[in-house]
């Protein structure tokens, strides 16, 4: 890849991993890449084009990580219930954080973007940002894995919110918390979710 384009991507990744799309500064990216605006626009149409390019790189990084990782804890099984599947997703996220910390932070920001940004991502990449959580919840209800005293719509709203914002809910001040601390906290988070919503029968 062209060295100048790679510099833009590297600096842009850091900026978007620290700020939402709206709050990220294109001028700062151009300045820190030590390039002119003309050079930036030679490679990218605008800020959104750069952002969507980085989203695609992030998707590829995650895909490469899961496909090349021998850790059986990440592998899904048809016998897994909803909560076991979620735990495996959490373990995957921790592993990805250890290997690609900046891309991990960027992916956290992606899941918290406003609907307009998410719509642009879906249009460009067809990427389901919710990870299919609604479908998983529907299947789990059919299998009796959720306590039926909780309406399905309520569970979907609560869990989707928690999954999209869990990093900031659990670690509101620790921007550079270690993967080990995240793993310990997510174990508690998983137990809390399962104890609260799973069927008691």
Q: Which of the residue ranges 62-66, 143-147, 195-199 has the most confident prediction, judged by mean pLDDT?
A: 143-147
Maximum pairwise Cα distance, the chain: 64
Task: Quote the Cα angle for 79-126-6, to 5°.
Answer: 110
Is 179:99 a contact under the CB 8 Å cutoff? no
Q: Looking at residue 126, which CATH number applies to its domain?
A: 1.10.357.10
Q: What integer best gives the mean pLDDT of the chain?
A: 84
Q: Range of 48's domain?
A: 3-197
Tell me what pLDDT residue 74 has: 59
Tell me what pLDDT residue 176 has: 66
Is 93:104 a contact under the CB 8 Å cutoff? yes
Q: Where are the alpha helices (DSSP H) in the chain?
A: 3-18, 26-32, 37-43, 47-68, 82-99, 101-111, 115-125, 133-142, 152-170, 179-197
Is 125:56 a contact under the CB 8 Å cutoff? yes
Tokens of 46: 């605008």
CA distance 28 to 34: 10
Tens digit of each residue's pLDDT (9 = 90 or more) over 29-44: 999 999 999 999 999 9
| pLDDT surpasses 60 at 81 | yes
CA distance 6 to 153: 44
CA distance 38 to 16: 21
Higher-confidence residue of 162 and 16: namely: 16
Tens digit of each residue's pLDDT (9 = 90 or more) over 124-172: 887 655 557 888 888 889 889 888 888 999 998 888 877 777 766 777 6
Tens digit of each residue's pLDDT (9 = 90 or more) over 45-59: 999 999 999 999 998
How many separate domains does the chain show?
1
């Amino acid at each position: 890849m062209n060295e100048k384009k790679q510099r833009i991507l590297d600096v842009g990744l850091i900026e978007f991993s620290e700020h939402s799309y709206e709050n990220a500064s294109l001028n700062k990216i151009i300045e820190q890449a030590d390039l002119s605006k003309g050079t930036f626009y030679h490679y990218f149409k605008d800020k959104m084009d750069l952002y969507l390019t980085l989203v695609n790189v992030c998707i590829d990084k995650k895909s490469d990580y899961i496909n090349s990782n021998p850790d059986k804890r990440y592998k899904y099984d048809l016998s897994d219930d909803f909560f076991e599947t979620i735990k495996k997703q959490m373990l995957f996220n921790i592993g990805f954080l250890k290997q690609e910390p900046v891309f991990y932070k960027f992916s956290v920001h992606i899941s918290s973007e406003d609907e307009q940004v998410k719509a642009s991502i879906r249009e460009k990449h067809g990427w389901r940002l919710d990870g299919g959580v609604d479908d998983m919840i529907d299947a789990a209800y059919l299998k009796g894995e959720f306590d039926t005293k909780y309406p399905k719509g309520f569970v979907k709203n609560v869990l989707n919110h928690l999954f999209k914002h869990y990093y900031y809910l659990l670690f509101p001040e620790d921007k550079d918390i270690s993967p080990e601390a995240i793993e310990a906290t997510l174990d508690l988070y998983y137990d809390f979710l399962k104890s609260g919503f799973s069927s008691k029968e």
